[in-house]
């Protein structure tokens, strides 16, 4: 992989620093619950289809008392897309060369009253340069106050940059995180954006604020719900909705497809799957 330019390095450094902050906060929550769980990290390397080094990343996974399974991954990869897949990527139809760096997070919680969550932000370079990502809440047992708070924090982050961001990106999340064959949404939404290009500094600042907003909102919701009592019926509902989550990620999620099509680490890509789920 070629040496990173200043924009690529700045994005990589931010995503890795955000990973460090999030993991520290999640470990602090485990400690508050009387658990000594910490993240296990595994570095991986990627070989480009050309045979040249293609970057790599670090998979971080923690299994604890509060977080039944949480993965926080960072990766920085580059090379060339193979075959027809290049035509599906913004700016890669005529030139398959690419660079991508980002953070991806999925948390499945032990207590059914604590919502599962997904967050991903990334920077891609083809013949164009753009940011994408977002965050969405996936509660097995939705609580209106939690949903409102999560959206309010994300809206504040959006409004600080462009009042048009939140309604547009909220609708994008509602449309994207939908399971057509079930005719249900995956959760209670959030924001999703892609192909954010043009003013690089402004778009990078916005992407950073999305990460900060997640780190502000989600741990507060976890602490509020993690000691709440739950029943066997609550757990059954949690496992059923985890099945829905798995279906979406394996059938429709573009990030999963991107990772598999570009030769990423399979365990890191599929860390989004829940540790247990049920169907019918």
In angstroms, the CA 53 to CA 1 distance is: 6
Does residue 118 have an active-site annotation? yes
Q: How far is CA 169 from the centre of its chain?
A: 15
Q: Which two tokens stand for residue 280?
A: 């019918």
Which SS3 state, helix, strand or coil, does residue 63 take?
coil
If we measure between CA atoms, which residue out of 154, 226, 221, 230 comes closest to residue 193? 154
3-state helix, strand, coil in the chain (%, to 5): 45, 30, 30
Other Cβ atoms within 10 Å of 109 Cβ, number: 23
C-alpha of 51 from chain center = 29
Show the tokens assigned to 260.
């598999």
C-alpha–C-alpha distance, residues 216 and 230, integer Å: 26
Catalytic entry in 108, 113, 118, 151: 118
Residues with catalytic function: 118
């Amino acid at each position: 992989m070629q040496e990173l330019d200043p924009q690529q390095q700045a994005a990589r450094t931010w995503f890795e620093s955000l990973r460090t902050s999030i993991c520290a906060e999640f470990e602090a929550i485990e400690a508050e619950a009387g658990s000594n769980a910490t993240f296990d990290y595994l570095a991986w390397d990627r070989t480009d289809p050309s045979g040249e080094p293609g970057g790599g990343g670090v998979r971080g996974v923690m299994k604890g008392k509060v977080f039944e399974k949480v993965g926080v991954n960072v990766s920085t990869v580059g090379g060339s897309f193979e075959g027809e897949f290049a035509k599906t990527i913004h700016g890669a139809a005529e030139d398959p060369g690419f660079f991508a760096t980002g953070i991806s997070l999925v948390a499945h919680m032990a207590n059914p009253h604590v919502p599962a969550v997904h967050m991903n932000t990334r920077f891609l370079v083809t013949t164009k340069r753009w940011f994408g990502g977002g965050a969405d809440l996936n509660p097995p047992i939705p609580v209106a106050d939690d949903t409102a708070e999560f959206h309010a924090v994300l809206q504040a982050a959006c409004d600080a940059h462009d009042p048009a961001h939140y309604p547009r990106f909220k609708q994008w999340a509602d449309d994207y995180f939908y399971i057509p064959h079930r005719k249900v949404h995956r959760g209670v939404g959030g924001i999703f954006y892609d192909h954010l290009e043009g003013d690089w500094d402004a778009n990078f600042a916005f992407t950073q604020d999305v990460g900060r907003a997640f780190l502000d909102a989600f741990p507060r919701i976890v602490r509020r719900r993690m000691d709440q009592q739950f029943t066997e019926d609550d757990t059954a509902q949690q496992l059923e909705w985890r099945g829905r989550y798995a279906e979406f990620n394996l059938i429709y999620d573009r990030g999963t497809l991107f990772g598999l099509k570009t030769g990423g680490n399979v365990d890191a890509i599929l860390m989004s799957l829940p540790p247990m789920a049920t169907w019918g």
